[in-house]
Amino acid sequence: MAYLDEAQHRIVSEAVAEAERHTAGEIVTVLADRSDGYTDVALWWAAGAAFTAMTVFALWPELFLAKIDWLMGGWGHEWTQGELFSLVIGFGLAKFLGVWLILLWDPLRFLLVPGPAKRARVREQAIKHFKVGAERRTHGRTGVLIYLSMREHRAEIVADEAIAAKVPAEVWGEAMADMLAEIRKGCIAEGLAAGVRDVGKVLSEHFPRAEDDQNELPDRLIEV
C-alpha cells in the first residue's frame, strides 16, 4: 500500500539531500505499512476466548444444555459424560474459530495488540532495515535510519555505531516529537522531512561535512 505520491516522496528526498549538505552522516528514510502481521497475537486471543468459553460451559452446564434441549425441540435429554465432553470441546473450537475469523479484520487486530508488543516489533523491524540498508555501508559508519510504521503509529531512529558512540539515544527525542506532530495531522511527508531536518542538525554538530565527502546512500524515501 502506497501512502505517498511522487510529489510527497520528493519532499522527503529533498529534505534528506539538504540535511546531508552539512554533514558527513547519511540519512535513510523508510515508510512501512506495518512491521508485523501479529498472527500470534490473534492466536492467543482466540485461544483465550476458547478456554474461557469452555470453562464457563464446564462450570454452568445447565445454562447451555437447557438451550440445546430447546433447540432440539424441548425434549429433555440425558447427557452422557462423553456427549458433555464433546459439547465442551466443540463449543471451544467454535469460539476459537469465530474469534480468529473476526481478528482477520486488520483494524480490530491491531487495536488488540498490546503496546509493548508493537514497540518491540517496530524496533526489531527498524533494526532489520537498518542492517540491510545503512549499517556499515558508509565509510565512517555514519548512517542513520528513520523508520515509520503506519499501522502501529510508531517510529524509530537507528544510528550506526560511530554515531551511537557520540550521540545518546535521548537526543533523537526532538526529531521524533517534531516528526510525529506533523504525522498526527495527516502530513506524513512533512513529518518525515521534519525528522530528517532535526537529525541532520544533530549530525552536522558531531559529523560536519568534509570537502571531499561523497553521497554514499540514496536520498530517496523507501516505502515497504
CATH number at residue 175: 3.10.310.50
Together in a domain, 213 and 120: yes
DSSP 146: E
Backbone angles phi, psi at 155, to 5 degrees: -135, 155
Q: Check residue 134 and give its pLDDT.
A: 62
Together in a domain, 31 and 120: yes
* pLDDT (mean) for 100-114: 93
Together in a domain, 169 and 107: no
Residue 95 pLDDT class (50, 70, 90 cuts):
very high
Q: What is the mean pLDDT of the chain?
A: 85
Together in a domain, 101 and 15: no
For 62, the domain range is 39-111
Q: How far apart are CA 176 and CA 49, in angstroms?
A: 37
The answer to the question of residue 1 being in a domain is: no
Q: Which amino acid is at 163?
A: I
Together in a domain, 133 and 99: no
Together in a domain, 206 and 157: yes
Together in a domain, 31 and 65: no
Together in a domain, 26 and 77: no
Residue 151 pLDDT class (50, 70, 90 cuts):
very high
Whole-model pTM: value is: 0.80
Give the end of a domain, one of 96, 111, 126: 111
Name the 3-class secondary structure at 145. strand
Together in a domain, 178 and 79: no
Residue 170 pLDDT class (50, 70, 90 cuts):
confident
Is-contact 147 129, C-beta < 8 A?
yes
Strand partners, 32: 149
Together in a domain, 11 and 91: no
* pLDDT (mean) for 190-202: 92
Name the 3-class secondary structure at 198. helix
